[in-house]
Amino acid sequence: MAERDDTRSAPGESLTRFGTLVSKELLRFWKVAHQTVGAPILTALLFLLVFSHAFGERVTVFRDVPYAAFLVPGLVMMGVLQNAFANSSSSIIQSKITGNIVFMLLPPISYAEFFWAYVLASVIRGLVVGAGVLAVTAWFVQLQFEAPLWAFAFALLGSALLGALGLVAGIWAEKFDQLAAFQNFLIMPLTFLSGVFYSIHSLPPFWQALSRFNPFFYMIDGFRYGFFGVSDVAPAASLAILAVSFVLVAMATLRLLRSGYRLRG
């Protein structure tokens, strides 16, 4: 990305550039919504049907909360996080491989505009998928919302964090294989080991302690609190951990953008 002054820009021009880039990113995933939105919703529904059928009568995590109902917030948040990451990471790597990354590097778009446009588009895709999963699963499970604002806060901050992390992965990767490795060996395991399908209190003490080093655990746990008013960690503490994580990842991403690491030819 060419050197530029991020501070000298008329507000109207900045909003136009930012809005154009956001619109481009939204159109990119919406044109194939059956793949980017429909497929994750179907996957979450299959998880719900299979796991609730296999363990529904045997497992109780929270008192008076059926296992199927316990599953839904985890599946919703899993869809939000994975798709927020996929949106920014796939966009960057596709642009790099096809060579059209130059059309985003040459215009006078500031690093902050570039960063926030990709993150916002990732948040929107994540929330759209999450809303779809919630709408579909509501046909099969009776849900409750004890603290909906907490749930929204965790979905918003979690998707922003994964959108920023997707930018890091997309910038680092030079081919799709490397990006797939990042997703399969980091994002996927952290998601599945975050308490989507279980409470960490069902684990041995060592694994309970280890789970607390997984930032995805705090996203799932805090989001589930918005439904049942019960969590393994205080929601304010979880949200603070996510906020710090987002700031650190955002700073690292902006540093990569300014350096032009693996973006400049």
- Is this prediction's pTM over 0.85? yes
Distances (CA, A) of 109 to 3, 22, 69, 91, 120: 10, 12, 45, 17, 16
The tokens for 129 are: 């998928």
Domain-by-domain residue ranges, the chain? 11-259
Is residue 167 exposed (0-12), middle (13-18) or buried (19+ Cβ within 10 Å)? buried
Tens digits of pLDDT across the chain (265 residues):
444 445 445 666 777 888 999 999 999 999 999 999 999 999 999 999 998 877 766 666 666 778 888 899 999 999 999 999 999 999 999 999 988 887 777 778 889 999 999 999 999 999 999 999 999 998 988 888 999 999 999 999 999 999 999 999 999 999 999 999 999 999 999 998 898 888 888 788 888 888 999 999 999 999 999 999 988 899 999 999 999 999 999 999 999 999 988 887 5
